[in-house]
Amino acid sequence: MDREKILDRDDLRIWRDSHGVPCVEARSLEPAYWGMGYCHAMDRGMQLLLMRILGRGQASEFLDSSDATLEVDRFFRKMNWTDGAAEEAIKLGPDARKCCEAYCDGINARFAEKTPWEFKLVGYKPAPWTVEDSIVLSRVAGFVSLAQSQWEIERVLVEMVQAGVERNKLDELFPGNLSELDEELLRSVLLTERIVPAGLDWKRVIPPMTGSNNWVISGKRTASGKAMLCNDPHLEVNRLPCVWSELSFEIDGRRAMGATMPGLPALILGRTPELSWGATYTFMDTVDSWIEQCKNATYLKEGEWLPFRKRTEVIRRKKKPAVETTFYENDHGTLDGDPNAEGMYLATRWSGACSGAKTLEASHRMWSATNVEKGMDHLGALETAWNWVLADSAGNIGYQMSGLMPIRREGANGFVPLEGWKKENDWQGVVSPEKLPRELNPERGFIVTANQDLNHLGDVDPINMPMGSYRADRIAEVLGSNDSCTVEDMKSLHYDVYSIHAKLFMDALGPLLTDDPNATILRDWNHCYDPDSKGAYLFERFYCALLALVIGNGGLGAGTIDYLINESGILTDFYQNFDRILLSDGSAWFNGSTREELYSEAYKRVRDVTPMAWGESNSMTMENIFFQGKLPRFMGFDRGPIHLRGGRGTPHQGQIYRSAGRGTSFAPSYRFITEFSEGCIHSNIAGGPSDRRFSKWYASEVDAWLNGRYKKL
């Protein structure tokens, strides 16, 4: 293998392999962390610093003083992720703290040699990286587009109630979640922030990872007789660089490899000789809102008026006057509104807002974990919400959910805002990891998570709004039919574009199709979202027309449903809630029409549409996260057009929509497969190792990522 030497000292060597992936060889864990930090600053320094600037709400000060950027800073200052970060760093055990500090030293050593030239353009000189910075980024990564999606769907409920959507329709859309709903009280709430419309620019820098696939297979279902693990986290891919940074380690002769995230001192997804692990998002409800009765900057609690904690933030702006913003807080989080004006407002809290130390500590312990049960114990202690699957060299497989699930009073599941003035509505601690969904060595020989409802595997119900089960069902169907799985089989499954979702709708639509060219295309369609499929394109047009006809005309309004489809991630995440209505034999949302009448009418709206290839309509440009598409294409910072395969219900997701007025995407960002008959990882990544435009590793894997070619680490 060709090696490009990067650094060579007594306790540490760093070199780059023929794929451009940095390899860190260290005598112990502490210098390995130093090497990880050095590599992150070397290959992803621009990404690293951008995320810190945004996470601290300093974009107006260092990057851009526009009004849009000011709103970005207001959002991050409101979330207040810097609060208590220094105290969290102190909580780290001595070994983990030494390693995390070594990681920071590695970053700072590289920046002392060279900093990304982009920041010289804006006059930014970075302060030294600290453990507190990594804790802030762990909070940002755990909330943006993850826990945030729960906040958004709960806020959509409030907006629906205030828009007058009937209770029976709400019960159909959110079954089992509305027993505590007080519609009259919610109508009295003053909303100063709304989902429709809402949004933030610069959001592309933060890695939204709404959904993903992972699965593990025991040796009794593999051709080699050894356990195998597969993972493909889905996030925004119309960006360069990819959020993931692959690294390979050899620490005192023991190898480890996989995906890291710049700014976080951890091997997040990957393997050692004895253990492998991969993650998806859980959709655990870790965000709650309370209705606060306010006046004169106080709130009512058990008959007593108490003062809010007042936090004033000064946002500095380049060449413009600073802006002072005040936030009001209590034990229910940050208030949406000004309590000096009498009224009802929402206060919202995320359980992971003060997290950090336990997460970094648990990640540190994974280096030495040698079996699935130990790995489950460590990963279960993470404070942000993930579905972890694990496999080990002894053939064991397991699943563990992590995250801080609030303990709520009986009858409350967190979806509906409750009265803040009643003490019994307060959180009462968090659930222990042992009670969260988990599974070890199931008889079926495999475990699949794809953001579906997994409550049945635990003693508690952390999920009240899962994604649809279509992807998980398809993956389980394929695995269940194969008792001698190979790595090549798993590569095919990573790129599988068959949609159970589409088949369910086509079974209902098929008998109603008329005799015309588009109907013929749909009848002959194999329910696969291949790039050249015209059937996939026509089906998507039909599905959106049906949503507009049933959900839009049924109560939300044409403008609102159009916004949810085209300008938000609500339908990207929670489409199965709408599908439940669309596929039912009868619904209050049908407004007296039959399902057949509605399907026929929706098809009429696409009958004369000129069909095109799915990939042609489902295309994007990978834009540099610093310049955000502002530079001419010939300069090579942006790449495209990229034609994505897959759709919402396919194992290989390929969703493109708009958010905050710009294009975004939802597709596999990184794929890896590892089997314990081999000492390697098979992987590809949506970009390349480096964020340096003039490096040959800037976008070196895009073609392989698109076309199903894997490298070996």
DSSP codes of every residue in 363-393? HHHTTT--SHHHHHHHHHT-SS-EEEEEEET
Q: Which residues pair with 213 in a beta bridge?
A: 232
The angle that helices 94-113 and 357-365 make with each other, rounded to 10 degrees, is 90
Q: CA 627 → CA 202, 205, 249, distances in Å? A: 10, 11, 32
Q: For residue 143, give the DSSP letter.
A: I
3-state secondary structure (DSSP) of residue 518: helix
Phi, psi of 117 (to 5 degrees): -65, -25
Three-state SS letters, 305-355:
EEECEEEEEEEEECCEEEEEEEEEEECCEEEECCCCCCEEEEEEEECCCCC
- The whole-number pLDDT of residue 198 equals 44
pLDDT in tens, 602-619: 999 999 999 999 999 999
Structure tokens at 318: 């380049």
The two most distant CA atoms of the chain are separated, in Å, by 78
Supply 535's token pair: 């059937």
Q: What is this structure's pTM?
A: 0.95
Strands (E), 120-262: 211-217, 228-235, 239-240, 245-251, 254-260
Place of tokens 């489809």: 565
Q: Residue 540 has which token pair?
A: 């998507």
pLDDT (0 to 100) of residue 562: 78
Phi, psi (5° rounding) for residue 294?
A: -125, 150
461-472 pLDDT, tens digit per residue, is: 999 999 999 999
> Is 251:29 a contact under the CB 8 Å cutoff?
yes
Strand partners, 675: 228
Residue 74 has a pLDDT of 94
Tell me the β-bridge partners of 402. Answer: 386
Tokens representing 529? 């979202």
How are beta strands 418-419 and 438-440 bridged, if at all?
A: unpaired
Residues facing residue 389 across a β-bridge: 278, 399
> Cα 265–267–269 angle (5° rounding)?
140
In the block, residue with structure tokens 């590892």: 674
Round the average pLDDT of the chain to a whole number and report it: 94
Instruction: Indicate the burial class of 305 (C-beta count within 10 angstroms; 0-12, 13-18, 19 or more).
Output: middle
CB atoms within 10 A of CB 678: 14
Residue 203: per-residue pLDDT: 46
Kindly list the distances between the CA atom of residue 586 and the CA atoms of 149, 578, 615, in Å, as whole numbers in the listed order: 29, 13, 34
With cut-offs at 50, 70 and 90, classify the pLDDT of residue 560.
confident
Domain map of the chain by residue range? 500-615
d(CA 27, CA 358): 26
CB atoms within 10 A of CB 130: 18
Task: Tell me phi and psi for residue 287, to 5 degrees.
Answer: -125, 125
- Give counts: helices (H), strands (E), the chain: 22, 29
Q: Which two tokens stand for residue 254?
A: 């023991």
Half-sphere exposure of 128 (CA within 13 A, CB side): 10
For the chain, what percent of residues have pLDDT higher than 90? Answer: 87
Q: Is the pLDDT higher at 235 or at 115? A: 115
Which of 445, 516, 501, 37 is CA-nearest to residue 216?
445
Q: At a CB cut-off of 8 Å and minimum separation 6, what does 112 contact?
A: none
Over the stretch 505-528, which tens digit does the pLDDT of each residue have? 999 999 999 999 999 999 999 999
What pLDDT shows up at residue 298? 98
pLDDT tens profile 9-61: 999 999 999 999 999 999 999 999 999 999 999 999 999 999 999 999 999 99
User: Which CATH homologous superfamily contains domain 500-615?
Assistant: Aminohydrolase, alpha-helical knob region (1.10.1400.10)
pLDDT in tens, 90-109: 999 999 999 999 999 999 99
Q: Confidence class of residue 202 from pLDDT cuts 50, 70 and 90?
A: very low
User: What was the pLDDT predicted at 561?
Assistant: 79
Strands 22-26 and 245-251 turn out to be parallel
In this prediction, residue 209 carries a pLDDT of 52
Position 656 scores a pLDDT of: 79
d(CA 586, CA 565): 23
Which residue has tokens 């870790």?
286
C-alpha dihedral (570, 574, 578, 583), degrees to nearest 10: 140
Contacts for 56 with CB less than 8 Å, ≥ 6 apart: 76, 81, 82, 136
Q: What is the pLDDT of residues 420-467, one digit of tens each?
A: 999 999 999 999 999 999 999 999 999 999 999 999 999 999 999 999
Percent of the chain with pLDDT over 70: 96
What is the rounded CA–CA span in Å between residue 37 and residue 132? 14
Give the pLDDT confidence score for residue 204 in this predicted structure. 47
181, two tokens? 């709903």
Of 245, 269, 262, give the one whose Cα is nearest residue 134. 262
CB within 8 Å of 22: residues ≥ 6 apart: 6, 14, 15, 16, 39, 42, 43, 247, 248, 689
CB atoms within 10 A of CB 635: 10
Are the beta carbons of 570 and 564 closer than 8 angstroms? yes
The end-to-end CA distance of the chain, in Å, is: 11
DSSP state of 399: E
Per the CB < 8 A criterion, the answer to whether 180 and 323 are in contact is no
Confidence of residue 640 (pLDDT cuts 50, 70, 90): very high
Model pLDDT for residues 475-508, shown as the tens digit of each residue: 999 999 999 999 999 999 999 999 999 999 999 9
